[in-house]
Structures are given as C-alpha cells and as structure tokens.
Structure 1
C-alpha cells in the first residue's frame, strides 16, 4: 500500500515538473520570437519609404509661393534615413517658375534625389536642362542647391546656344541657368544656320 502511494506521488510530481518545464520553455520561445520580430520591424522601418506615390504630377511651393511642377512615375520619401531624402529613381521632369508663374527653366533626369533638410537636388544620368532663352544643357551629374540658388557640376557639360555649342568640364550657374561659368572649356563650335538648313534639306 505504501509502495503504491509513493508511486502515485512520484507520477504526480513528474507530471507537474514536466508541465512546468513545458510552460517555461513555451514562454521563453514565444518571448524570444516576439523580440526577434520587433527588432526586425524596427530595422526594416529605417530602410522603408514613409510614402510611395506612383504617376505623380504635383506643384511644390516655397514660402507659400508655387515654385515647381514635378512629374515622375514614382516618388518615394525616406523620412528615417540620415539625411532624409525624396527619391525619383524612375526619372523626373521638373519645371521651375518665376514669381509670375512663367517657366524659367525645365530639367529632366534619369534619377534624382532631393535632400529636403538641405534643399539640395542631386540629378543623375542624362540630365537635360533648358532655360528661358532656349539654351540647352546636357550632363551626367548635376547638383542644384535651392538654399544658395546655385547649380553646379564637375562632370562633362555640353551647352547648346542658338549660334554655338560649348563643351567643357565643370560649371556653375544661377538657378535660372542664365548666368554661368564653365571651368575648363574644351571646345566652341559655331553653328552655321545656312549650312545646317542645306544639310537638313538634303536629308529630306
């Protein structure tokens, strides 16, 4: 009888111990799993955009005045990056307005980043600009600092004016692209309008 009672007590003790171990292990695993998931979510948030907009045509104001029109297939805003920025990785077309809402410059690029805190644009790949006078600028990398009102690049630049084409490396300009300086001029080629029209007629 005493032996039977001891066996029962032993079985009950073992059952309770196993149950306790199982409960503790379950809690540990579920807690550790939860910690992992939270850590992963925080890490991903740093690299995820706060906003993603497709097929965008929008007006942007500065100090309450409309200054820019932006067209892009995709606009991403990374507010948790350091520094924070907007990304236009599928191309962008930008028009800049003067105080009377006339377009005084238009810019297109394959890729663009706008660092909102610095008010700095970085334009990459087939950057094309046209100013109010009709001068055309082509380069592969361009910076536009809205805070200082300066546009600049250290890369190859091609400037096409009505009567000539200027080639060089590096330039800086005002943001209307009307007053500019080329750092290293490599060549100036004058356009003969009469010769150009003859060539165009022969190609027809």
Structure 2
C-alpha cells in the first residue's frame, strides 16, 4: 500500500513537472500558427495592393480638363495602381499622346517607351526614347522627361537634343511650358546649324556651358 502511494506521488510529481512544458509547447504552437497566419494575411494584402486594379489593352482614350478634351492617349496596355502609395497609372508597353488647345488643335505630340502618370500630383514621367513634336516644327529627344499638368511645365535633368528648322541644339537640363514654345536649356553642349557653312564657323564657339532661352518668335541665345 505504501509502495502504491509512493508510486502515485511520483507520477503526480512527474505530471506536475511536465505540465508547464506541455502548456508552453501548446502555446508556442498556437503562437507560431497565429504568426504564420498573420504573415500570410499580410503577404496577401501586400500582394493585392501591389496588383493593378484595372488593366486595359489596346487603349485609345480622351481626357478632359474642365469639360474640354485636352489629351488623347494611345497605348498597348494601361494599368491602374490606385492602391499603391503614391497611386499611379502605368504604360509600360509604350505611350503615344496628343495635347490639344481649347479649339482642339494639336499643340504637341509625345512618344515614349514607358510612361507613368501619378494621379495625386498630376505628373507624367516619360522614360526611354522620349520624342516630342511641337506646332513650331521643333522636335525634342531625350531619355527622361517630366510633365506637370498642374503647373503646365515640362522639364528634365537629362541630355536633350532639339531640332529646329535652322539648327540643332544639344544640352543638359531643360525646362519649358507644355506647348514647347518657351524653354530654357541649362547647359549648352553644342549648336549645329543646318547650313554647313554656318555650322563650320559657329559650332565650336557655342560648345560651352551656358543657358539658352527661347520663346515664340525669338530663337536667339541670351
């Protein structure tokens, strides 16, 4: 009888000793499971937020401002990321755009390999083989250009090549109105006249860091 009591006491003490370990193991298991579930939910939410809310293929769209159609957009693919911070539209398969004046005349034509439009700030970022044509017959080529629709400014800190009817201008740093008629080049790297005789006599003198300003009816440096 004493042996049985001793055995029972021994088993009770062993069980008492093991109980905290069992509880700890169960708690750790539950905690680990909850942590994994929470991580899975977080990953799912993050993945959802990183996905476009809309994808449209072969797009031709007209965008109005104050009830007036001001822009035409043509793209192979248009994705909207409205859950991203900041929210934006992506045109990663190329973009062609036209800007209209109030009479629906084309003020500028724009092409780029990739484009992003940030809806909160109304800023376009054009990337890769950016080509812009103005109504004055000038073309602008660069690898990066920003276009702020709120301030009506077009600007870049990259190399830019401007072809005018009478000359070609190369430089770095650019700021313009969005009609591409009044602009400043921060650092002129070369001015090449279409007339070869003029080019030979002037291009070397103009290869220097300077600022070039042009406006409607005025294409002279100052």
TM-score scaled to structure 2, two decimals? Answer: 0.70
Q: Which residue of structure 2 aligns with residue 135 of structure 1?
A: 138
SS of the residue corresponding to residue 101 of structure 1 reads coil
Unpaired runs of 5+ residues, structure 1, are 1-27, 194-204
- Count of equivalent residues: 168
Q: CA RMSD in A?
A: 2.1
Q: Which residue of structure 2 aligns with residue 74 of structure 1?
A: 77
Q: Which residue of structure 1 aligns with residue 61 of structure 2?
A: 58
Q: Which residue of structure 2 aligns with residue 92 of structure 1?
A: 95
The counterpart of 2:109, out of the listed 106, 110, 113, is: 106
Cα shift readout 1:151-179 (whole Å, capped 9, x = no counterpart): 00010010000110001011100000011
Residues in 2 aligned to 1:152 and 1:33: alpha-carbon distance in whole angstroms: 47
Residues in 2 aligned to 1:150 and 1:60: alpha-carbon distance in whole angstroms: 18
The counterpart of 2:157, out of the listed 142, 154, 157, is: 154
Unpaired runs of 5+ residues, structure 2, are 1-30, 197-222
Residues in 2 aligned to 1:153 and 1:33: alpha-carbon distance in whole angstroms: 46
Q: Which residue of structure 2 aligns with residue 116 of structure 1?
A: 119
Residues in 2 aligned to 1:89 and 1:182: alpha-carbon distance in whole angstroms: 28
Runs of 4 or more off by more than 2 Å in structure 1?
A: 30-41
Q: CA deviation at 1:62?
A: 1.3
Cα shift readout 1:116-174 (whole Å, capped 9, x = no counterpart): 11000000010000001110000000000011110000100100001100010111000
Q: CA deviation at 1:38?
A: 3.8
Residues in 2 aligned to 1:174 and 1:32: alpha-carbon distance in whole angstroms: 54
Residues in 2 aligned to 1:162 and 1:50: alpha-carbon distance in whole angstroms: 45
SS of the residue corresponding to residue 49 of structure 2 reads helix
Cα shift readout 1:68-115 (whole Å, capped 9, x = no counterpart): 000010100000111000000111001000000000001000000000
